[in-house]
Amino acid sequence: MKRAIATTTIPGDLGEKLRAAAAAGFDGVEIFENDLLYFDRQPREVAAMAADLGLEIVAWQPFRDFEALPAAERQKAFDRAEHKFDVMGELGAPLMLVCSNVSPHALDDPARAAADLAALAERGARRGIRIGYEALAWGRHVRDYTAAWSIVEQADHPGLGIVLDSFHIFARGNSLAGIATIPSARIAMVQLADAPDITMDLLQLSRHFRCFPGQGAYPVRDFVRALARQGYDGVISHEIFSDDFRSGTPQQVAVDGMRSMVWLEEAVDTPPRTSSRSARAPAPAPLVDGIEFIEFTADEDEAKWLAQALGSLGFRHTHRHRSKHVSLYRQGDVNLVVNCERGTFAQSYHERHGISVCAIGLATSDLARLSARTGRYLCPAFESRVAPGELRIPAVRGPDDGLLYLVERGPGTPRFFEVDFEPLDGAEQQGLGLTRIDHVSRAVAPSEFLSTILFYRSVLGFEVSAPTDIVDPHGMVLSRALTAAEGAIRFPLNTSHASQSITERFRARYAGSGVQHIALACDDILAVAPRLNPLHVLPVPANYYADLEARWGLDAELIESLERHHVLYDEREDGRYFQIYTRSINGLFFEIVQRDRYQGYGESNAAVRVAAQQREFEKLQAAVSVGTSESW
């Protein structure tokens, strides 16, 4: 199988697109006509550029509005095709993709369409060019791949095959069963695209909202499995039209495309491979077991401030690093690292973002397999300075430029703090009853949202929830949760196009995407709440509790306790959820939660929380303007 990508998928000019595709490891590219028309090099030069980069030009596309035209239009269509054959000859492109006719002049005449395609295939064969026919989901008469295959079958020309495109199949809700009737030798090429599960005009969906498999809602893995059952071993190519991709970088979009391709190949038990670039066998997804630590970066003064904040939540400074200016705060099974060491990644991250979360340690029971997998998925590796006798913990850069450490944890394996840290005298863990990290939420740019989803889904095997809308006083926030280890790891992602939403205000202050809030679990939130410093707790308006009583019928004593301590509440058929939010530090805030079988995130309370944070932001702005701002 050859891995390819259509040049329209990658942003930039044609030269940038080719370089990015080659760097990501693709075997070939489909040349999209407009990319060539807008480029300042001749087709022969483009062919030489691709060859120098080790890329095969696998197809030229698209050739539109060709088949089943009235007699007056038919000859013009063949004349256009001959001109395109000339261009393809210079490019060295062996396949022309012909998409089903959308012209209002097209005739509903499958026999005429078959005859036209057979004649085109005969002309192409004289030049060593094959024809691939594709059903567009919005084609005038041919919208279904089974109808396209019927026409190809009727044409009965060895130089004509069918192009199967996952987007056009799933966008119309077509069954995959028809693939079993198509001999693999008659499949000219396969194109891949995913899309969100939304109802809208198919042409607009196609032009603006396609995405890589693994980023959307279509069962593209089932599509790839159906092809494998037919023994298909040809070109598989991403063809994506996306507003988000156009605002990305060529390098990142191409890398995401390769990650998606590898993720799809893992869906096939024994995928046929013929490309030398693609000879590695797929590995099963490893287990990531939990969050081993969260690492903050801070300067000396901020570290004291952060220590005060963590102390108010019941954390104790229990360990000091053996060779670095790094402290460990613990409570229950929560490990929070504060890194003030100079000349490190943490310091450079601090220079860009201020006091913030710069790294997360993920625990794994199979470090060797997980490390190999991150390399296979093109994850940039990172190595930190390690003193003799200390652990060498591998790390990769995450989508938000922070680090993900891969920490081996299992029977007989010491914890990281037992090796690299020294315990402090008298630093027993007492705490307030916080037991573990419940979830870690990130704010990401809209252009990074799909890339981040794909990273965690493909590289680390996370599951992705359906999207949720969060109402912000200044715009909507889109949220999707990533989960692993049967819910032991939860990473909600939030993004917004509204510049004044809380998500985008955080990103503006933070100078990028990153961790915006950390939720800590407890067993009894009403026992924890009275021990919190009320100055640090985000206040909730009284109107919320009046509505809460009417909505859930809770007894008056519980309502009074919730209101006194600013505890939010939600329930659904799977259980109950209690939550308290803190005020923020550089936009970062904490949450304390109690789950009683509940699997969500208190989504119904999100608008209340965001509105309260908006009021806090406005109060802070007013205080800053008169020089009386408060901190923790």
pLDDT per residue over 55-66, tens digit each? 999 999 999 999
- pLDDT for 406 equals 97
Could you tell me the pLDDT band of residue 427, with boundaries at 50, 70 and 90?
A: low
pLDDT over threshold 50, residue 136: yes
Measured between alpha carbons, how far is 520 from 267 in angstroms, rounded to an integer?
35
Measured between alpha carbons, how far is 99 from 595 in angstroms, rounded to an integer?
52
* Dihedral sign, Cα of residue 411, residue 416, residue 421, residue 427: negative
Q: CATH 3.10.180.10 occupies which residues in the chain?
A: 288-423, 437-625
Q: For the CA atoms of the chain, what is the radius of gyration?
A: 28
Could you tell me the pLDDT band of residue 627, with boundaries at 50, 70 and 90?
A: low
| Among candidate residues 557, 536, 617, 548, the one with its CA nearest the CA of residue 578 | 548
Measured between alpha carbons, how far is 395 from 158 in angstroms, rounded to an integer?
51
Q: What is the CATH T-level fold of the domain 288-423, as seen in this structure? A: 2,3-Dihydroxybiphenyl 1,2-Dioxygenase; domain 1 (3.10.180)
pLDDT tens digits along 429-477: 678 999 999 999 999 999 999 999 999 999 999 999 999 998 888 899 9
- pLDDT for 269 equals 61
Amino acid at 344: T
Amino acid at 456: Y
> Could you identify the residue written with the tokens 């954390």?
315
284: Cα separation from own chain's centroid: 20
pLDDT over threshold 80, residue 566: yes
Could you tell me the pLDDT band of residue 623, with boundaries at 50, 70 and 90?
A: low
Q: What integer best gives the mean pLDDT of the chain?
A: 92
φ and ψ at 538, to 5 degrees? -70, 120
- pLDDT for 513 equals 95
Measured between alpha carbons, how far is 297 from 360 in angstroms, rounded to an integer?
12
Give the CB-side neighbour count of residue 181, counting CA atoms within 13 A: 12
Quick one: DSSP state of residue 611?
A: H
CATH among 3.40.50.300, 3.10.180.10, 2.60.40.10, 1.10.645.10 for 437-625: 3.10.180.10
Angle at CA of residue 548, ends 540 and 553, nearest 5°:
150
Could you tell me the pLDDT band of residue 78, with boundaries at 50, 70 and 90?
A: very high
Which stretches does DSSP call E strand in 218-275? 235-238
Measured between alpha carbons, how far is 253 from 21 in angstroms, rounded to an integer?
9
Between β-strands 356-364 and 288-297, what pairing exists: parallel, antiparallel or unpaired? antiparallel
Instruction: List Cβ<8 Å contacts ≥24 apart for 297-302.
Output: 297/339, 297/340, 297/346, 297/347, 297/349, 297/350, 297/353, 297/355, 297/356, 297/357, 297/358, 298/338, 298/339, 298/340, 298/350, 298/355, 299/340, 299/350, 299/355, 300/340, 302/354, 302/355
> Could you identify the residue written with the tokens 């206040």?
539
Mean pLDDT is highest, among 314-318, 533-537, 610-614, for 314-318
pLDDT tens digits along 153-184: 999 999 999 999 999 999 999 999 999 999 99
pLDDT tens digits along 329-338: 999 999 999 9
- pLDDT for 270 equals 46
- pLDDT for 617 equals 80
The pTM score is 0.91
Bond into 43 cis (ω within 30): no
Contact in structure between 105 and 140 (CB atoms under 8 Å): no
Could you tell me the pLDDT band of residue 68, with boundaries at 50, 70 and 90?
A: very high
Could you tell me the pLDDT band of residue 188, with boundaries at 50, 70 and 90?
A: very high
Angle at CA of residue 503, ends 498 and 509, nearest 5°:
105
pLDDT over threshold 60, residue 114: yes
480: Cα separation from own chain's centroid: 10
Local structure of 186: helix, strand or coil:
helix
φ and ψ at 55, to 5 degrees? -105, 140
Could you tell me the pLDDT band of residue 625, with boundaries at 50, 70 and 90?
A: low
Measured between alpha carbons, how far is 384 from 467 in angstroms, rounded to an integer?
36
Measured between alpha carbons, how far is 492 from 469 in angstroms, rounded to an integer?
12
352: Cα separation from own chain's centroid: 23
Q: CATH 3.20.20.150 occupies which residues in the chain?
A: 2-278
pLDDT over threshold 50, residue 629: no
Contact in structure between 163 and 211 (CB atoms under 8 Å): no
Measured between alpha carbons, how far is 353 from 511 in angstroms, rounded to an integer?
6
Mean pLDDT is highest, among 21-25, 549-553, 624-628, for 21-25
Quick one: DSSP state of residue 220?
A: H
- pLDDT for 274 equals 44
Mean pLDDT of 130-151: 97
**For residue 58, what are the contacts with CB-CB under 8 A and spacing of at least 6?**
2, 4, 27, 28, 29, 30, 93, 94, 95, 189, 235, 237
Between β-strands 316-321 and 421-423, what pairing exists: parallel, antiparallel or unpaired? antiparallel
| Among candidate residues 305, 287, 303, the one with its CA nearest the CA of residue 295 | 303
Angle between helices 250-265 and 14-23 (to 10 degrees): 40
Could you tell me the pLDDT band of residue 632, with boundaries at 50, 70 and 90?
A: very low
Amino acid at 298: A
Mind spelling out the 3-state secondary structure of 96-112?
Answer: EEEECCCCCCCCCCHHH
pLDDT tens digits along 349-405: 999 999 999 999 999 999 999 999 999 999 999 988 888 889 999 999 999 889 999
Could you tell me the pLDDT band of residue 280, with boundaries at 50, 70 and 90?
A: very low
- pLDDT for 624 equals 57
Mean pLDDT of 60-84: 96
Q: Give the DSSP H or E segment for 519.
A: strand 514-522
Angle at CA of residue 444, ends 442 and 449, nearest 5°:
110
Angle between helices 446-454 and 250-265 (to 10 degrees): 30
CATH among 3.30.310.50, 3.20.20.150, 3.30.160.60, 3.40.50.880 for 2-278: 3.20.20.150
Measured between alpha carbons, how far is 396 from 442 in angstroms, rounded to an integer?
17
Measured between alpha carbons, how far is 452 from 44 in angstroms, rounded to an integer?
37
Measured between alpha carbons, how far is 508 from 353 in angstroms, rounded to an integer?
10
